[in-house]
Structure 1
Amino acid sequence: MYFPVVSERSLTSGPRIGGALWILMFGIIALLPVRGAAQPAAVVDDDTSATLSLSLDETLARAQEESFPARSAEATRRAATARKRQSLGVFLPRITAREQGLFTTDPVNAFGSKLRQERFAQQDLQLGALNTPDRVDQYGTQLEIEQPILNLDGIFERRAASDAARAAGHKAERTEAIVAFRAKKGYYGLLLAERRVGVIDSALAAARATRDQAQALFEEGIINRADRLAAAVRVSELESRRSEAVARRDNAADQLRVLIGLEDDVRIEPTDSLTRESALVGDVSLDAVNQRRSDMQALRARAEAARQKTRSRWLAFVPTLNARGTTGWYDDTPFGTNGQSWTAGVSLSWSLFEGYQQIGRAQEAEAQQQRAEIALEQQALENDVEITSARRDLRAAQERIDQARTAVAQAEESLRIRSDRYAEGMARTTDLLQAEATLAERRLAYLRALYQHNITVYRLELLTEQSMTR
């Protein structure tokens, strides 16, 4: 229903009222409680936690140092390095020291114990002493050394451990890149949520002004009750949307807090603004990406480790050569040194058959090697598809930003025209409310376009592991 046009005659008929008096009357009407209309609700912030202001750079620094994925990847890298260090056993000796105590009346042990202690005497050769000896106490201090000489399977096992440690290092680098991308995405997600609340606040302020204006016009009899209620309903709708937007903002802040490993109960407040990143996207060489990217290097190192593991399993059939030496001091008191002796030797061992265990382990290693090579090929193909898709999405995001900016300007101009017409009584309340709603949606669409553009740029940086922003 359009508003009736009030003629100049109807305004001048009857007693004349000064302009100042009209302004005073409308001001009093605007301040009066509106019966049947929703009142502005006070916004109560239930979150009493402390606030932590963070820039994007500060967020990235915290994420690299404190995020759970980064710390876990670093622990995995240290574990792989420790396994590589363990493989040094194929070259280095094993040294063992022990102290043993022996108490016996067994003829053989008693005879040997006295010999080791160098206490054997002439009377110990008597038949009675040999058959039923008295209790003999023996303490032995021994030092044993085992030195690997040739263990081909162990050599290739060490190479596999070295490649696995290198793969874990590249995997940690990739995790850092992923954490940085997620931190940027979370930070800009929080910025988007903050700006969404701001846009809704602006729309809510305009809707409340329209509601108050509609109430005043209803009191004047210019509009009907349906138009007045439509303005009140719009305010209630925006208040509900604001509550939802505030909840989304708080959830985004909590998610970012978990992402950067911030265990304190604080509310993150971003200090940067949601602006368009200046992207410098040139030609991307897929071959260069596959060679440079840390996860591809990790996959190649993992495949090489699998190959070395396969060789190690098959070389387990080759004989191994090791040396061993033992020296000891023996006495009837702990750590005594009355008797001393040593033993040295070399052993050549060859495992001929273990019930298909060795063959099964070798075949399993071959299958793991094939699996690692397939994963490398698959990731290379996925990189091609993902990079092409990201470049396509970036072009679309740039177009959406331009389109959304134009739509915002058009919606602002449309709202200005409808507001002027509404003030003159030449437009409906629903038209004005629709224009306000359209402007709010266009502004939100522009913010989403900025967010999607920036996230696409960061995703392309993650896929190529090279900076594309100024």
Structure 2
Amino acid sequence: MKNQFLITIGILSYSIFGYSQDTLSISKKEIQEKIADANLQIKQAEKTYQSAKADYQQSNALFLPNITASHTGISTTNPLMAFGSKLNQEILTASDFNPTLLNNPAKTQNFATVISIQQPLLNADGLYERKAAFAKMQAYQLQTERTKEYMQLEVSKAYMQLQLAYKAVTVLTKAERTAQANLKLIDNYFKQGLVQKTDVLNVQIRVNEVTNQLQYAKSNIQNASDYLGFLLNEDTKNKTYKPSEELESNISVATVTTEVPENRKDIQAMTLSTSAYQKMYLSSKMNFLPRLNAFGSYELYDQTLFGTKANGYTVGAQLSWSVFDGYKSIGKMDKAKADFQKASIETQQYKKQSQLEVNKTNRQLLDAENKVKLSQLAFEQSQEAYRIRQNRFTQGLEKTTDLLQSETQTIQKELEHVQAVFEYNFTKQYLQFLTN
């Protein structure tokens, strides 16, 4: 019965701890190379840029001609249409001027092939709309590049979190072995009558606590692995990533710029976006100026389908001016002005918020550096305290509860130190991202 129980526990452990899953070793360099091509957020940003680029390409219509072709067939007894169709076909005769035939013409057929060309010559509002579209396209291009930089930061954080999860498992596995050794020692003492049953139970409770913490740590490995797979747009079913590099145990203090650079890509994108709104405002003002466009057409007429018996052409130019459109243009200009002013204010606010974030992160980096130093000292002190208590305990000079408390404190301080190193390294990368 006991053997069956152990086998059952082994099977559950195999399933719970995920040993049946494939473990894939992955390096930080490898994920940074993958992220640019695989990440869905980057792909969305690229499509947004391509959409803005297509909008800019549409503005080529400001300089290029608009060419259309049509073929129309009619059958009519309308006096005016019938007379005009014969005239276009160049088949009009003297008898067609008979008033009776003019008023009551016979059924007349006409097939017309028309090729039309419209060429813009001067459209001031369109020029500024084109400039606005170009600024918008550049803004989205910079925003796409900034998104790539952010996802590099995010995937680096995810990789460090995976390293942290594996490190926690390592620490807690060592703690579990220590707890099991203490349990074995206490159990021997109990059999010798040197300790009470409560001491054995306390140590057993401690073993269960460490085992439970270890299970949570192993679950965190899968959580971190799944998130890394999400960033890389890869299926992590029955797969677990394992970092090829261990989490750094020390920090390297670096001096980072504390000012937000004007050439930071997202700030440049905001500035270009404001410029686009300004161009749209100027375009709405230019809407009050006249437009000059040229046009022309070449026509083919015949009684039969696709016939070419008669032909003619028309060329000309048109100067048009919308004198008053019921306050529509004025309202459009006021709206464009308000949008431009709003964009200017948003850009100023974004720059100030970015500087606030840099200042805050810089202080967090100093705090994280201090935390690493203190956690390192606390961990070393707790190790020494545990070593002393363990030696005294074997000599019968320490209580079991004191030994367990010291052991718990040692594990806690080691995990705190690992967490502090992680926080410092990520904060440093984040600050570099903010000032890049």
- Give the alignment's TM-score, normalised by structure 1: 0.86
Larger Rg over CA atoms: 1
Tell me the secondary structure at the aligned position of residue 307 of structure 2: coil
2:42 to 50, 54, 70: 70
Q: Return the offset for 1:166.
A: 1.1
Partner of 1:100: 72
1:193 to 158, 165, 173: 165
CA RMSD, aligned part only?
A: 2.1
The superposition leaves residues 245-295 of structure 1 with CA deviations (integer Å, 9 ceiling, x where unpaired) of: 2222212221222122224534322222211453532554x3xx4321001
Q: Return the offset for 1:51.
A: 3.5
Q: Return the offset for 1:394.
A: 1.6
Partner of 1:88: 60
Tell me the secondary structure at the aligned position of residue 261 of structure 2: helix
The CA distance in 1 between the partners of 2:377 and 2:190, in whole Å, is 35
Partner of 2:190: 218
Partner of 1:18: none
Task: Indicate whether 1:308 and 2:279 are aligned.
Answer: yes
The CA distance in 1 between the partners of 2:32 and 2:61, in whole Å, is 41
Task: Indicate whether 1:53 and 2:25 are aligned.
Answer: yes
Amino acid of the structure 2 residue aligned with 1:70: I
The CA distance in 2 between the partners of 1:52 and 1:342, in whole Å, is 73
The CA distance in 2 between the partners of 1:128 and 1:51, in whole Å, is 97
Task: Indicate whether 1:295 and 2:269 are aligned.
Answer: no
Any conservation in 2 of the 1:290–1:380 contact (CA below 8 Å)?
Answer: no
1:348 to 305, 319, 332: 319
The superposition leaves residues 292-335 of structure 1 with CA deviations (integer Å, 9 ceiling, x where unpaired) of: 10011011111111111111111111111111111111223333
Partner of 1:152: 124
Tell me the secondary structure at the aligned position of residue 44 of structure 1: helix
Amino acid of the structure 2 residue aligned with 1:160: A
Task: Indicate whether 1:441 and 2:412 are aligned.
Answer: yes
Partner of 2:350: 379
The superposition leaves residues 205-249 of structure 1 with CA deviations (integer Å, 9 ceiling, x where unpaired) of: 111111122112111111001100000001111122222222222
Q: 1:254 to 1:283 in 2, by over 3 A?
A: closer
Q: 1:279 to 1:104 in 2, by over 3 A?
A: farther
Tell me the secondary structure at the aligned position of residue 118 of structure 2: strand
Task: Indicate whether 1:268 and 2:238 are aligned.
Answer: no
Tell me the secondary structure at the aligned position of residue 13 of structure 2: coil
Any conservation in 2 of the 1:411–1:439 contact (CA below 8 Å)?
Answer: yes
The CA distance in 2 between the partners of 1:63 and 1:179, in whole Å, is 7
Q: 1:236 to 1:313 in 2, by over 3 A?
A: same
In the TM superposition, 1:415-426 aligns within 5 A as 415-426=386-397
The superposition leaves residues 404-455 of structure 1 with CA deviations (integer Å, 9 ceiling, x where unpaired) of: 2222222222222222222222222212211211111111011101110111
1:208 to 177, 180, 192: 180
2:296 to 319, 325, 330: 325
Q: Among all aligned residue pairs of Structure 1 and Structure 2, give the percentage whose two residues are the same amino acid.
A: 32
Tell me the secondary structure at the aligned position of residue 292 of structure 1: coil
In the TM superposition, 1:33-44 aligns within 5 A as 43-44=13-14
Q: Return the offset for 1:133.
A: 2.9
Partner of 2:334: 363
Any conservation in 1 of the 2:256–2:432 contact (CA below 8 Å)?
Answer: no
Task: Indicate whether 1:172 and 2:144 are aligned.
Answer: yes
**Structure 1: where are the runs of 5+ without partners?**
1-31, 34-38, 466-470
Any conservation in 2 of the 1:156–1:311 contact (CA below 8 Å)?
Answer: yes
Q: 1:293 to 1:283 in 2, by over 3 A?
A: closer
1:397 to 349, 368, 379: 368
Q: Return the offset for 1:398.
A: 1.9
Amino acid of the structure 1 residue aligned with 2:411: A
The superposition leaves residues 37-75 of structure 1 with CA deviations (integer Å, 9 ceiling, x where unpaired) of: xx9996234555544322112112222221121111111
Amino acid of the structure 2 residue aligned with 1:203: A
Any conservation in 1 of the 2:115–2:298 contact (CA below 8 Å)?
Answer: yes
The CA distance in 2 between the partners of 1:144 and 1:277, in whole Å, is 72
The CA distance in 1 between the partners of 2:254 and 2:112, in whole Å, is 75
Q: Return the offset for 1:357.
A: 1.7
Task: Indicate whether 1:278 and 2:234 are aligned.
Answer: no
Amino acid of the structure 1 residue aligned with 2:348: E
Aligned residues: 426
Partner of 1:4: none
Tell me the secondary structure at the aligned position of residue 317 of structure 1: coil
Amino acid of the structure 2 residue aligned with 1:376: T
Runs of 4+ in 1 over 4 A off after TM superposition: 39-42, 46-49
Task: Indicate whether 1:339 and 2:310 are aligned.
Answer: yes
Amino acid of the structure 1 residue aligned with 2:244: T
Partner of 1:109: 81
- Give the alignment's TM-score, normalised by structure 2: 0.92
